[in-house]
Amino acid sequence: MAKDNDTPETPAKKGGKKNMILAIGLFFLIAILAAAVVFLMSKGQDEEGEEADDEEVAAEQAKQKRKDKKKDDKPPVFVALDPFTVNLQPSDDPMVGDQYLQVVISLELDDFSSELELKNQLPRIKNDLTIFLSSKNAEELKSSDGKAKLADDIRDKINVVLNPPVKNRKGQLIPPDGPVLAVLFTSFIVQ
């Protein structure tokens, strides 16, 4: 009977060793799979981060933020700037004399608190806009596309003064999403 007691214990020990080896193997397999999943997920997040740094994605996000701000049911806030009169760059045509631009601009802001910030920076904004507008020529400003591009450029220049741009991971400057939502021309004369 002693042999009968020994025989059942021996297979149980062998089965226990097999189970232990299987458990350890299974543990390592799960650990390797978990490490692979973590690696792939972190790689995916890096790719998403690079996409977020892309200027097009940043521009789309800025447009979406502007749309969301407009949905707040707040009345729009407009600030009229003093008229700008600047000499334009000379034309290539020698028959055309000096030309100038006289423009009156109103700014649509995201909220009332931005108006104070804008007024605090007004001398710098006027300086930057005067220099920018005087760098244009009449041919650029004749078409409606030229005027629309000018309005977007003015909005961006003012937003840069109010909210300086930041660099992304690639070292590129991302234009700010500032408080100026739109630039409206209330008068636009090129002579």
Low-confidence ranges of the chain (pLDDT < 50): 52
Predicted local distance difference test score (pLDDT) of residue 129: 96
What is residue 132's predicted lDDT score, i.e. its pLDDT?
Answer: 96
Which of 140, 60, 154 is closest to 104 using CA atoms? Answer: 154
In this structure, are residues 172 and 53 in contact, taking their beta carbons and an 8 Å threshold? Answer: yes
Q: Residue 180 has what pLDDT?
A: 92
Closest CA to 176 of 187, 162, 188: 162
CA atoms within 13 A on the CB side of 176: 16
**Looking at residue 49, what is its pLDDT?**
52
Task: Say which DSSP state 143 is in.
Answer: S
Closest CA to 55 of 187, 162, 141, 156: 156
Q: What is the pLDDT of residue 62?
A: 61
The residue whose two tokens read 């977020």 is 52
